[in-house]
Chain A
Amino acid sequence: MTIALRAQGTSASTVLDGSSLKPNRKQKAVWLCLRFAYLPLNAVGVRYADQSNTIITQDYQVWQLNQNAEDYGVCEGQSVGHALMLNPAGQLVERQCEHEDLKLKQLSEWAYRFTSHVCVYDDHTLLLEIGRSLSLFRGLKHLHHLIDVELERLNMDVCSAVAATPKAAYVLSNGYQQGWELNGWQELLKHVYLQDLNLHPKTTAQLKHCGFTTVGDIVSIPADEMGERFGRDALVYLNQLLGQTADPQLFTTPPEAFSANVDFAEPIRNRLWIEQQVTRLLQDLLSFVQDRQLLCRGFTWRFYHENNRLLKTIEINVNSIKLDLKMIQELTNLKFASTAMDWEFSRIELASEELFAKSLWHDDLFDPRPDQENFDRLIDRLNSRLGTGSVRELKAQPEHLPELANQSGLMTNSLVSKASYSKQEKAWAEQRNDDGGQKNELMDEPLWLLEHPKRLSKQADGRPFCEGPLTFIHGPNRVSSHWWSQLCSRDYYIARQASGRLLWVYFERTQQQWYMHGAFA
């Protein structure tokens, strides 16, 4: 029996520069730039050279478009109206920035397989230091082929370039380098237009006014004359571009995750036999979380057959902020107890990917609700015993229609529910608190409503009938809303049955029909 612990990632970002990337003197830093210039298009599943006629828009302006759409004369920056005038058949798609960020994040994780030095340079570019990976991937040419094939598979349009400095690789990736050729990058750099550098726009404009258009034009200018006019920042930038000054980069780290497993020499049938191993794995998880000051929102148990076939996955959510061994043991035991484990397994794995930096959650020093933690633990225990999604809470919504106003939702931890409040909802919540209860919508209606209103029969005089005639004791409360979807126009009444039971009924004015919507306790 062996226990293997595999924890990915580091807890801090790494800062490296070109000079420090020299494990031995012969090996030079090689920077690869992957510029996903069409990320907005790619993020919505469109390639630049597709047959589609796609225009990505943002704030009523054209943000990006594919080749087909360009052929109509549409260009970036045009108003949507203008674009449609030129290209009436153009398919407009709103830019999805979040999607792009996610895509780039996924790409940075993907790039991790080629080097551990991956850096997100701007919102659509990755920089990879590949000097130390070249021998592993059998040289630059082979790596180029590998990355191209992979990106093609991922449906991404990319412009790439290699150079000895990160900034040079970045600017050359703007279509200046054909193929990955490390020799002669300095020569290529001389042909780069100033507007393609990351100089301050004002500096670029001033240089252009003086008649300089390419890097080659400005490298010959005496440094003191340049510095006098454009300041230190421009000089530093140019030196970094040419490799005369170190250019540190901030590398990304892959997401934190925990995974540990235990292999058994023989298949196990009784879960009681593995209690000790389960405890050890949980201890490992706890140490991992505590050492890294992480917050664990859930973990997963996986059971494997001897041929590595996955038999069963058991997920356990954690609402409680504070994690201790006793608690996660209890949750595991409760969950195991509610699961019929009548199979043989040879390996168990404990994994958690729902780990977040604890700094996201600040405990209130003067928390007026010390019982919250106990309450969260209760929810965790109930969820483990009854199954995820079994515990629900009543959530009042600012709506006039009762079924929309009184909604139930999954019981969640306060951290999540608070964070998910929109501004408007917070304002509404404050307003409700300020109202001092005078606008309490629940005043004249039962706490729990029927999931589907029950249709009532009518008496001869048009009054509703429910196990006998009803007597109105309050109403009507007229609600007329949601004309844009399905108009609901109702008169609500509190009605009494002969037995004394109070019902909440309404008359649907559009259908001329009575319904019962709830009963008072």
Chain B
Amino acid sequence: MVYAWRIRLELMFAELHTKSHYTFLTGASSPTEIVYRASELGHTAVAITDECSFAGIVKAYQASVETGIKLIVGSEFTLQTNSKNKQPLKLLLLAPSRVAYSEISSLITKGRRRSPKGEYSLHLRDLQFGLQNCLAIWLPSDQSDDAEQGAQLAQWFKGRVWLGVELFWNSDDQVRYLYRDKLSRGTGINMVACNDVHMHCKSRKPLQDTVSAIRLRTTVDKLKLNRYSNAERYLKPLKVLERQYPHALLEETVRIADLCHFSMAELRYEYPHEVVPDGMTATTHLRHLTFLGARKRWADAPNKKVPDKVIRSIRRELRIIRELEYEYYFLTVYDIVAFARTRGILCQGRGSAANSAVCYCLHITEVDPGVNDLLFERFISKERNEPPDIDVDFESHRREEVIQYIYQKYTRRRTALTATVITYRRKSAIRDVGKALGLPGNFIEELNRSMAWWDKIEMLTEQMQKRQLDLSSNLNRYFFSLVKQILGTPRHLSQHVGGFLITESQTSTLVPIENAAMPDRTIIQWDKYDIEILGLLKVDILGLGMLSAISRALQIISDYSGKRMRVQDIPREDPKVYDMLCAGDSLGVFQVESRAQMSMLPRLRPRCFYDLVIQVAIVRPGPIQGDMVHPFLKRRNGEEAVEYANDEIKAVLDRTLGVPIFQEQVIKLTMVAAGFSGGEADQLRRAMASWGKNGDLEQFRHKLLQGMLRRGHPHDFAVRLFEQIKGFGSYGFPESHSASFALLVYISSWLKYHHPTAFYAGILNSQPMGFYSPSQLIQDARRHNIGVLPACINRSSWEHTVDLTLRNNQPALRLGLCLIKGVSEESVKVAIESRSLKRFYSVNDVRQRGLFHSDQLRKLINADVFHQFESNRRRAYWHALQCDDGFNTQEPSSAEFIQDLDALETLSADYQHARGVSLKYHPLQLLRDTKPFNRCVPAAQLLSRRNNSMIEVAGVVTGRQRPGTASGVMFMTLEDETGNINVVLWKAVQERFRQAVLTSNILHVKGQLEHKNGVVHVVAAYIERQDHALPELRSKSRNFH
């Protein structure tokens, strides 16, 4: 004890060279672990010096705030030199000040931007300029030109450079030390102790070896000299350091640490100035725009008066925004949204931002604060002290235009995408660790397959035992422990889906920028959590397929009606639209097209917009797991009484019949029933989202129960409420978000009901999106009596269009040439231009105009787009082959020996070449007269059959869904020539007919028919694979988990 006290008094040390696991596949500890360990060991300060990276620095900063230890920001670099020995120079740069931080950040950016993703390239000469404020620690490479390099560094970093001495109990430690001492004397650079820390404790050595093996794509035993000879690259206690280094070298570390005054807290976000016009402040400008927008929003109200409730909300929100200085953020998002609107790009804010009246007035969101009860605290709260997060969806096909606008307006120097840290998940961990330990590939794969996605990692030992692996063997024990250790550790940086950081000055001075995998995309080295911690603001530019579909459908309607059709022209609360939804006819409609949603629609029977808001939110894992669906349906159908503990609770839950369905209700409930503040309630919601990962929830549980008991609520009620809200946490929707989505549900439903042809054309042109394949959508369109015309070389465009010419001015859906596999949009556009001058009159004509490459031409023939000129597509193909090698003006021979396709071959060719779309035949249509299909009931007749009767059905498998919340039940969709059949497979049936369930294209099912409220299911009892009936059919089912 006395000894320890003496050490602490006399010896101080700061570790200046540490690599965390953000030096990917090299470091074996997190920045947090390093900082916490350094604090435990009593180090004065600790530097995080990941190689050419600041990716882990924010996590380290957070840990340093929590522990109180001083954090030094730095980075390690390996620089190319002109050395004859070609040995690179190793250097640490540390940031004593904000300016120095920017210098290092810029250097990292320079090195990273020059190289492909994940790499960097820097030369010694890059140090000459732009690093006037950094401190440097030189790590000599024991080469003959060390002295020369030292002299160079001493000149460039005059008085700011040290010579790092790193000793690892190797046999040459003494020689190395003496060599460095000589260098130090020769160059006049002082020596300092460093330890090249790769792990916070020695026990991480196996993990360090393992990640090295993964990085070098070998196994640990074959790493040989690429493996460190011992475990000495760890954070050492002071008494060990004292034995290893002279005191002077240890004290020098503290002197350097004392020179470093920079803290990450100094990083202040500077907003782009462009968003505020000259002569105005951000506050006044935002206020001006908000009230201007409010007047526009309520232009049609009586006396054009903005409701008082809204005015009050706006004023309150503006006050909070001003206090938290978020005006620029709102103005930046407004600027982007305004751009999109001027370009006619549909966009809509969603998530918690829809709780803001200001966002509504700025046209960022569409949830009317006059009608809906918004909870601004869900969006911004003082207690939370976190920057707001506005997610804006844009048309997916036009999102790039918005991104280019941002790059253009704010310049590439001031914008970059946020990173996403790709971490090890169970599968990748098992695979990579297994490979590194040299386990057989088959065994690893087998192990991975044996574990279901819901299994915990602890199941791994069980699975290993099942495979009779000796768990007492060193290798197997290490395998399990290493998989556990590597889980959640970062592997590389990737591009966030759409989070942009926009800054006033050059972004690289705030955070390093590197290249993303996608050409012309750059990402910053921090992810969204880092940005949150530092209080920086990002704008999420996301793409939404349904917005594209709506926009396209509206354009088509405008084109054929001759009158401009906009979203705001769609009449609200159309009962016919709700009738359609009540019948479960929602295929293709936004959000409510899944099997679960479709079967819920006839039970919930939405009759107004708010019903849609509930519909969107209720079929979610949260409410389902929290057992909220059935009580709600019973209460809605009058089968159960609605009771409230008091009026306050009634006010919160009245709209959802006493059942909490939305996140806002949870927050409000905790406020009115347990006395939580708005921020506290939101913290509870966040704690619930990460339930199981930390122990935060218990403190809220106690607080909630106590609060509710104090307010006179029964204990049972309090516990039930807590369990209920725990059930959905992050899986539940906020009401505002649900309302944003419900709006799109209504719009898409309206389009489907009133302009179905345009609706299907819009959806088909916006693929891939939604639950259904183009074939399923087209089948559905035909069942709605929409004429579907085949793709034609003289009539089709690239996209699907609405054709008014052939069906007495009735709109028909003309399939586009985009449906044909292997044909490029460019070629089609050129062909369309060519046919506008003179229509095509034969296959030879198309070929002679040289519009398509021979391969493309043959693909078009196979997809039957020349049916106008040649009904026998095989003959057309034969002729096309004739001229493959050059231009040939000869008319083709008669080729009488070529036979035309029969029905089955036609179907097969369509499936193969037109993305599974065949207008001529449905597979079941061809099989209907054969056994066992002649016994099967077509989908269209199922409703007319007696409930609970045993029936047989058959169809093409178009979807399999096995939701985690459905206790192992699988929902399968079969399609026949008359419609879709919903098949329910219990676990036992799945196991019994495992092969047929998993691999069939065509299925024959015997089972019990169940129908209720117009929803029809067949509960399967017997399943038979029928692929042999149509061996040529290769349909692709869409499978969801």
In the complex, residue of chain B having the shortest beta-carbon distance to the beta carbon of A72: B995
Question: Residues of B within 8 Å of A, CB-based: how many?
Answer: 53
* CB within 8 Å for A481 and B224 given contacts A210-B881, A211-B898: no
Chain B residues, Cβ within 8 Å of A92 = 442, 445-446
* CB within 8 Å for A60 and B445 given contacts A229-B881, A400-B227, A480-B229: yes
Determine if A84 is an interface residue (Cβ-Cβ < 8 Å). yes
In the complex, residue of chain B having the shortest beta-carbon distance to the beta carbon of A225: B893
Determine if A399 is an interface residue (Cβ-Cβ < 8 Å). yes
- Interface majority SS on A: helix, strand, loop or mixed? mixed
B165-185 contact mask (Cβ, 8 Å, vs A): 1 or 0: 000111110100000000000
Bound Cα distance A85, B1039 (Å): 15
A41-69 contact mask (Cβ, 8 Å, vs B): 1 or 0: 00000000000000001001000000000
Determine if B339 is an interface residue (Cβ-Cβ < 8 Å). no
Q: How far is the CB of A400 from chain B (nearest CB, A)?
A: 4
Q: How far is the CB of A179 from chain B (nearest CB, A)?
A: 28
Chain B residues, Cβ within 8 Å of A424 = 218, 222, 224
Q: In the complex, identify which listed stretch (A122-130, A272-280, A484-492) lies at the interface while the others stay far away.
A: A484-492
The number of A-B residue pairs with CB atoms under 8 Å apart is 123
Determine if B998 is an interface residue (Cβ-Cβ < 8 Å). yes
Chain A residues, Cβ within 8 Å of B895 = 225
Chain B residues, Cβ within 8 Å of A474 = 171, 174
Bound Cα distance A428, B893 (Å): 67
Q: How far is the CB of A217 from chain B (nearest CB, A)?
A: 9
Bound Cα distance A92, B442 (Å): 7
Contact indicator A478/B170 (Cβ below 8 Å): yes
Chain A residues, Cβ within 8 Å of B172 = 443-444
Determine if B206 is an interface residue (Cβ-Cβ < 8 Å). yes
Bound Cα distance A60, B224 (Å): 28
B434-471 contact mask (Cβ, 8 Å, vs A): 1 or 0: 00010011100110111000000000000000000000
Contact indicator A211/B899 (Cβ below 8 Å): yes
Interface set, chain A 220-254, CB cutoff 8 A to B? 220-221, 225, 228-230
Contact indicator B446/A478 (Cβ below 8 Å): no
Chain B residues, Cβ within 8 Å of A479 = 229-230
Contact indicator B442/A94 (Cβ below 8 Å): yes
* CB within 8 Å for A478 and B230 given contacts A211-B901, A220-B897, A229-B884: yes
Q: Which residue of A86, A221, A398, A489 contacts B897 across the interface (Cβ within 8 Å)?
A: A221
Q: Which residue of B170, B445, B881 contacts A206 across the interface (Cβ within 8 Å)?
A: B881
In the complex, residue of chain B having the shortest beta-carbon distance to the beta carbon of A397: B224
Contact indicator A80/B168 (Cβ below 8 Å): no
Bound Cα distance A230, B874 (Å): 16
Contact indicator B441/A486 (Cβ below 8 Å): no
Chain A residues, Cβ within 8 Å of B881 = 206, 210, 229-230
B898-923 contact mask (Cβ, 8 Å, vs A): 1 or 0: 11110001000000000000000000
Q: How far is the CB of B391 from chain A (nearest CB, A)?
A: 35
Chain A residues, Cβ within 8 Å of B274 = none
Determine if A409 is an interface residue (Cβ-Cβ < 8 Å). no
Determine if A369 is an interface residue (Cβ-Cβ < 8 Å). no
Determine if B221 is an interface residue (Cβ-Cβ < 8 Å). yes
Chain A residues, Cβ within 8 Å of B999 = 73, 86
In the complex, residue of chain B having the shortest beta-carbon distance to the beta carbon of A86: B995
Bound Cα distance A478, B244 (Å): 13
Determine if B291 is an interface residue (Cβ-Cβ < 8 Å). no
Determine if A512 is an interface residue (Cβ-Cβ < 8 Å). no
Q: Which residue of A209, A221, A478, A483 contacts B858 across the interface (Cβ within 8 Å)?
A: A209
Chain B residues, Cβ within 8 Å of A477 = 169-171
Q: Which residue of B142, B221, B231 contacts A438 across the interface (Cβ within 8 Å)?
A: B142
Chain B residues, Cβ within 8 Å of A453 = none
Determine if A81 is an interface residue (Cβ-Cβ < 8 Å). yes
Contact indicator A210/B227 (Cβ below 8 Å): no
Bound Cα distance A476, B884 (Å): 77
Determine if B877 is an interface residue (Cβ-Cβ < 8 Å). yes
Determine if B592 is an interface residue (Cβ-Cβ < 8 Å). no
Bound Cα distance A108, B874 (Å): 44
Determine if B280 is an interface residue (Cβ-Cβ < 8 Å). no
Q: Which residue of A85, A94, A491 contacts B449 across the interface (Cβ within 8 Å)?
A: A85
In the complex, residue of chain B having the shortest beta-carbon distance to the beta carbon of A60: B445
Interface set, chain B 854-904, CB cutoff 8 A to A? 858, 862, 874, 877-878, 881-882, 884, 893, 895, 897-901
Contact indicator B229/A484 (Cβ below 8 Å): no
Determine if B970 is an interface residue (Cβ-Cβ < 8 Å). no
Contact indicator A210/B449 (Cβ below 8 Å): no
Contact indicator A480/B224 (Cβ below 8 Å): no
Interface set, chain A 178-222, CB cutoff 8 A to B? 206, 209-211, 220-221
Contact indicator A398/B205 (Cβ below 8 Å): no
Contact indicator A80/B445 (Cβ below 8 Å): yes
Determine if A77 is an interface residue (Cβ-Cβ < 8 Å). no
Q: How far is the CB of B534 from chain A (nearest CB, A)?
A: 39
Determine if A475 is an interface residue (Cβ-Cβ < 8 Å). yes
Bound Cα distance A167, B998 (Å): 40
Identify the interface centre among A81, A94, A475, A478: most chain B CB within 10 Å of its CB: A478
Bound Cα distance A476, B206 (Å): 22
Q: Which residue of A57, A209, A221, A230 contacts B442 across the interface (Cβ within 8 Å)?
A: A57
Q: Which residue of B220, B225, B440, B998 contacts A398 across the interface (Cβ within 8 Å)?
A: B225
Contact indicator A484/B205 (Cβ below 8 Å): no
Contact indicator A73/B995 (Cβ below 8 Å): yes
Contact indicator B225/A428 (Cβ below 8 Å): yes
Determine if B475 is an interface residue (Cβ-Cβ < 8 Å). yes
Chain B residues, Cβ within 8 Å of A88 = 450
Identify the interface centre among A94, A210, A221, A482: most chain B CB within 10 Å of its CB: A210
Q: How far is the CB of B793 from chain A (nearest CB, A)?
A: 18
Bound Cα distance A73, B209 (Å): 41
Interface set, chain B 195-254, CB cutoff 8 A to A? 205-206, 209, 218, 220-222, 224-225, 227, 229-232
Chain A residues, Cβ within 8 Å of B694 = none
Q: How far is the CB of A439 from chain B (nearest CB, A)?
A: 8
Determine if B941 is an interface residue (Cβ-Cβ < 8 Å). no
Contact indicator A84/B171 (Cβ below 8 Å): no
In the complex, residue of chain A having the shortest beta-carbon distance to the beta carbon of B229: A400
Determine if B271 is an interface residue (Cβ-Cβ < 8 Å). no
Contact indicator A484/B168 (Cβ below 8 Å): no
Bound Cα distance A481, B225 (Å): 11
Contact indicator A484/B877 (Cβ below 8 Å): no
Determine if B994 is an interface residue (Cβ-Cβ < 8 Å). yes
Bound Cα distance A467, B303 (Å): 111
Contact indicator B232/A478 (Cβ below 8 Å): yes
Chain B residues, Cβ within 8 Å of A397 = 224
Q: Which 10 A-B pairs have the closest CB atoms?
A: A477-B171, A478-B169, A73-B995, A92-B442, A398-B224, A480-B230, A400-B229, A229-B881, A444-B171, A478-B230
Known contacts A85-B998, A476-B169, then 10 further A-B pairs from the complex at CB < 8 Å, ordered by chain A residue? A84-B445, A86-B994, A86-B995, A92-B445, A211-B905, A220-B897, A428-B225, A445-B171, A477-B170, A481-B230
Listed by A's residue number, 17 A-B pairs whose Cβ atoms lie within 8 Å are: A73-B995, A85-B998, A94-B441, A94-B442, A206-B881, A210-B881, A397-B224, A400-B230, A438-B142, A444-B171, A480-B230, A481-B230, A482-B221, A483-B474, A484-B220, A484-B474, A485-B221
Which residues in B have some Cβ–Cβ distance to A below 8 Å? 142, 168-172, 174, 205-206, 209, 218, 220-222, 224-225, 227, 229-232, 437, 440-442, 445-446, 448-450, 474-475, 478, 858, 862, 874, 877-878, 881-882, 884, 893, 895, 897-901, 905, 994-995, 998-999
